[in-house]
Amino acid sequence: MQDTEVAQQEQQYFDMVMSEIERQLREQVAAYEHAEQELQVYLNSSWEDGTHMGASIDRLIEAVQIGKFARTQELLADKRMERIKALRKLSDSAYFARVDFKEDEEPEEKIYIGRHSLYDADRSLLVYDWRAPISSIFYRFEKGPVSYDAPQGQVSGEVSLKRQYEIRKGVLKYFFDADVEISDEFLRRMLSQNTSAHMKTIVETIQKEQDVIIRDSSNDLLIVQGVAGSGKTSIALHRIAYLMYEGLQKHLNASDILIISPNTVFESYISTVLPELGEQNIQTLEFEAIAAEVIGESGLQIQSKNDYLETLLSVPAGERRRLAMDMAFKTSGGFASMIRKYRDDCLRHMTFYDLYVGQEKVAKKEELHELLTRAQDRASVEGRLERLRGNLAERLRVAQPQRHQELMRQEEGRHEDSEEDEIYARMTALREARRNHGLITEMTRLDYRALYRRLITDPALLNQLYGNGQVPHVEEMCAYSAEHANDERLSYADAMAFAWMLLQFRRNESYRGIKQVVVDEAQDYAPLQYEMLAKLFPYARYTVLGDVNQSIGKTEDERVYDRIEHILKKRMNLRMTLRKSFRCTNQIISYASRFIEDHYGLESFNRDGGEVRVTGYDTEDALLKELPLLIGKMHEEGCESIAVIAKTGVGAAAAYSAYGLDAQLILKDREYDLTGVMFMPIYLAKGLEFDGVIVLDADAETYRSKMDRRLLYVACTRALHALHLVYSGSPSAFLKEGERNV
Amino acid sequence: MFEKLARIIAETINVDPSDIYPEMAIQGSDGLSEWEFARMIIAAEREFKIRIYDIDAAGFRTAGDLLSYIKQNKKEKEKERDEDSPIEIDEYFFSE
């Protein structure tokens, strides 16, 4: 198959690399075990010395030193373990590409690229990490003149060879030369494989425009609009791996990075990518958790986003309108600024009292007001109130001795003995103090829940804060809020707005250290939520990825990104668009394109599959009876993971119980093993992918609104290889629309 | 320290010190009478050689609140006294 001489050379290099990996692996494992033993011996001997006992300072210092030693050893051991893991991965697949690069005046070099770097004993690089600056030429250029950004500046030269390898389980299976960035044939083969329960890494097939996003480190806010299946999430994760690699010098580590994720199902789906790339996993948070942290009431129940969506999609139209309106208003940028104004309004309307100790006035109410609302005060409202509380208590303490004397004079000789006189005097002093204590508490404590309730139920107040006439539908919205004011659980919208309100009154330092925030499914968050991010992570850089065509529960367009830029206010912004969908076959992407208006130049990676099937049944029963057959057919076609996707959780559950064969119902926000046959609602299928997808109930009743149309788009674009839409009665009008050429 | 305080409270309200526990209310509708409370505060000030400010005492609800106030006060006093003493063993040991 290959030129024998070239093949021999490649095999030689491969054998050399493999023996180097094995040598290092042996060395590291031995060193690791030796260090473990040594530490154990050391700890045992110091224990026998009795160093841990006794109280003299010398002993304590010694104990501290032992502790320090043990910790250093532990850190070293961790580092070694990391290296061992990396070497084990390399021994499985040492590298996947090679470029022959000649820098202008230098001799030509063979650059082998793998998941991790590998040095030999002379510190020369046998394999370059895919994230190394030089590796970018593999992803970005064809043969010919190239350049890449290195720490010391731009390096240019010429590439004379690009080669890709298939190395699995420590065996060099084959290799081929490719002139283009990444051979389409190779990628097509990768894409034709079945999907797995967890997202896979893409280091071998990163596309040029994807690479630009992964390696961007000059922008504070990077916004990526990417069509379904363009690899947004994957790119985000590889970008994190890149930033951590690059961050080795800049002290960026796993705890400095945060992913805002839509739900736990999604979190578990992506959880293996970073470990696969040899990096520690990083914190993922849902917005509900952020709101709960800000609100900080233990035991508080907050409605999850999924619960909101399920309700929204399953209630009758009139109720849906009210729900959607409530959500749209309470998470709007307008409401966010009204809440800002409300804070000042609350301060202005606080009631103050004069404070007395005996006849002496120690604080005047006007003065207190002034103290609290002073301009130029950088402290939070809560901070100011606390300061005020301390200030007033101190004044009362200062006035105490004199007041005690006065009272003693009054009581002197009025009781059995002087001790008794003193008790009566103190009793009066304490009674006065109790009154003052009550006043101070009243003046300096805010009942936030009551303030919030007032805000969302008082139309006049809202109009006044709006400052621009009437808030649209204000009466109706306030009535709706009033109806739910005593609900035990805070609705998703209220939780967001309430958390935002609290952030106006008190600081939250929980996330101060976060330096990088990745927001996935960005189109699903509202302006008020971005305001929250800006406030909670003021010093962070952002990677924001979304697809306006996949917004659920509302309709969005490109303006969503303008708003994000406006709210996050970063110095350097970059917006990128990914048009090519890699996930679906040509047939699926063409079919799905009928559900979207603006397809952002949607392109399909040229991969053919079977035709999309659409089947109608007379009744729901007939449809459900046929389901095992349809699923069986997909199995026969080679699909391993098959999702039966309904509009709502209720729909998915009904179909699941009718199905009766081995399958999973994915309904709750928790971790699942995403294999085999799965029934789920669309909002939980978001971000995931399956070999085959059956879209249930694609009838005129179920899918009728603009919002429903987008749901169909999301559902259909989950499929890699096979897509089948089924309905009973008459089909949704959207199914009849013409497809577009992509 | 709590035993000492329990004795003071017990003497004030004429019960056995073993009946006093940290969660016991000393102020409010289920607490001591105003007169008892005043007497207890004076006695505590003498016993522990600290000053209890009325405005702070107004915030006590339980015997435990009073106890932590006393502890806090003692600590601050000691800190003033020990300002120039060389090393805080606790701090040294537990830092890092």
Residues whose CB falls within 8 Å of the CB of residue B37, separated by 6 or more in sequence, listed in order: A427, A430, B26, B27, B31, B57
SS3 B74: helix
Instruction: Tell me the chain B residues in contact with residue A431 when contact means C-beta distances shorter than 8 Å.
Output: 34
pLDDT at A183: 63
How many Cβ pairs within 8 Å bridge chains A and B?
59
Stretch A39-48: mean pLDDT: 72
Query: Which of A184-198, A529-543, A644-658, B32-46 is predicted with the least confidence, judged by mean pLDDT?
Result: A184-198
- Of residues A596 and A428, more confidently modeled: A428
At A415-441, the pLDDT tens digits run 999 999 999 999 999 999 999 999 999
**Range in A190-204, A344-358, A576-590, B72-86 the model is least confident about:** B72-86
pLDDT digits (tens, 9 = 90+) for A598-607: 767 788 888 8
Write down the pLDDT at residue A48.
62
ipTM of this model? 0.86
- Please count the CA atoms within 13 angstroms of the CA of B71 that sit on its side-chain side: 10
Instruction: Kindly state whether A408 is in contact with chain B, defined as any CB-CB distance less than 8 angstroms.
Output: no
Closest Cα to residue A171, out of A99, A94, A117, A85?
A94
pTM of the predicted model, to two decimals?
0.84
The two structure tokens encoding residue A109: 């070099």
Q: State the DSSP string of A245-309.
A: HHTTTTT--GGGEEEE-S-HHHHHHHTTHHHHTT----EEE-HHHHHHHHH--TT--B--HHHHH
To the nearest whole Å, the CA of A390 is away from the closest chain B CA by: 11
The 10s digit of each residue's pLDDT in A109-120 is 999 999 889 998
Quick check: B90 pLDDT over 50? no
- Domain borders along chain B are 2-75
Provide the pLDDT for residue A650.
94
Is the pLDDT assigned to residue A318 strictly greater than 60? yes
Rounded CA separation A34/A40 (Å):
10
CB-CB neighbours of A637 under 10 Å: 13
Chain B partners within 8 Å of A423 (Cβ):
35, 38-39, 42
pLDDT at A361 over 60: yes
Instruction: Give the long-range contacts of residues A460-467, CB within 8 A, separation 24 or more.
Output: A461/A342, A462/A338, A465/A338, A465/A341, A465/A342, A465/A345, A466/A334, A466/A338, A467/A341
Higher pLDDT, A324 or A199: A324
Mean pLDDT over A283-296 rounds to 93
Asked whether the predicted pLDDT for residue A333 surpasses 70, the reply is yes
Question: Is A339's pLDDT higher than 80?
Answer: yes
Nearest-Cα distance to chain A for B9, in Å, is 15
Residue keyed to tokens 């600024």:
A337
Condensed to tens digits (0 to 9), the pLDDT of residues A680-691 reads: 999 999 889 999
Q: Give pLDDT, residue A740.
A: 58
Does the beta-carbon distance from B54 to A422 stay under 8 Å? Answer: no
Q: Is A507 exposed, middle or buried (0-12, 13-18, 19+ CB in 10 A)?
A: middle
Whether A579 contacts A603, CB under 8 Å:
yes
Mean pLDDT score of chain A: 89
Helix/strand/coil for B88 = coil
Whether residues B42 and A422 touch (CB distance < 8 A) is answered with yes
Return the pLDDT at A81. Answer: 87
Q: What is the pLDDT of residues A367-404, one digit of tens each?
A: 988 888 876 778 899 999 999 999 999 999 999 999 99
Give φ, ψ of A646 to 5 degrees: -110, 165
Q: What digits encode the pLDDT tens for the residues A270-284?
A: 888 888 887 888 889
Tokens matching residue A597: 């208006």
Residues B2-75, CATH architecture: Orthogonal Bundle (1.10)
Q: Is A432 on the interface with B (CB under 8 A)?
A: yes
Residues A479-507, mean pLDDT to the nearest whole number: 95
**Nearest CA-CA partner of A710 in A494, A550, A599:** A550
A3: which DSSP letter? -
Determine what percent of chain A is predicted with pLDDT higher than 90. 58
Residues B21, B27, B29, CA angle at the centre, nearest 5°?
110
pLDDT for res A390: 93
- Give whole-number Cα distances, A412 to A404, A409, A428, in Å: 12, 5, 13
